[in-house]
Amino acid sequence: MNKILQVICVLFLLFVSCASAEAKINIFPHPRYVPALSFYGESGKAYRLKDFTADLLMVVIWSRRCGPCISEMKYLNTFAKKMTSKGIKVILISPEKDWASHAERHTFMKRIGAPDLINYLDRKANFADGMGIQVTPTVLLINGAGEEVGQITGSVKWSDPEVIRYMLKLKNDISE
């Protein structure tokens, strides 16, 4: 009986967090400098945002303990595959403490329908803290010059044609 109650409580909390995670977009009036903060690949190699090139780089800060993050991953995976050829690149950064191993992370990503998303690790939350991230999911929007042009906080319906049109328009607007 105790386990059933625990499962019901967890499902309720996930439902509440999903229902209250409506996306908010904030496009800055002027691009912002991005500090040289590191995050890490599977081999332990350190990366910085300047190591990535795209007309629009979307850096998704997420956690495997975040219901809204998980619910959007399948759609984000499809979105990312479609957008790469259009100049939009998507990368993920999750807390290193979320994962026991790289194999566990790969299995999890496959299970939630997001095997193609490139996922980096944030050691000791240095990247998220350095960028001032308070909630997950948060998407940092980085222009081709490596500057932050905006943020999206909360869950997004990445399969929605209106969202796709908006992101393509944003990419074009910041590329001009």
Each residue's pLDDT tens digit, 116-128 = 999 999 999 999 9
Residue 88 falls inside a structural domain: yes
CA–CA gap between residue 152 and residue 15 (Å, rounded)? 21
- The reply to whether 87 falls in a domain is yes
User: Domain for residue 15, yes or no?
Assistant: no
CB contact set of 86 (below 8 Å; sequence gap of 6+): 168, 171
- Token digits of residue 126: 């240095």
pLDDT number for residue 14: 44
What distance in Å separates the CA atoms of residue 33 and residue 39, rounded to the nearest whole number?
17
Total residues found in the chain within this entry: 176
Number of domains, the chain? 1
Structure confidence at residue 71 (pLDDT):
95
* Domain of residue 171, residue span: 22-175
Neighbouring CB atoms inside 10 A of 48's CB total 14
pLDDT of residue 175: 83
User: Is residue 42 assigned to a domain?
Assistant: yes
Confidence at residue 5, expressed as pLDDT on a 0 to 100 scale: 42
* 6 inside domain: no
102 domain-assigned? yes
Structural domain contains residue 168 = yes
CATH code of the domain in which 63 resides: 3.40.30.10
CA within 13 Å, CB half, 102: 9
- Distant-in-sequence, close-in-space partners of 148: CB < 8 Å, separation ≥ 6: 28, 31, 32, 33, 34, 140, 141, 142
Residue ranges in the chain whose pLDDT is less than 50: 5-20
Angle separating helix axes 2-19 and 67-83, nearest 10 degrees: 50
Among left, alpha and beta (phi > 0; psi -120 to 50; other), residue 110 is alpha
14 falls within a domain: no
Q: Under a CB-based contact definition with an 8 Å cutoff, are residues 25 and 152 in contact? A: yes
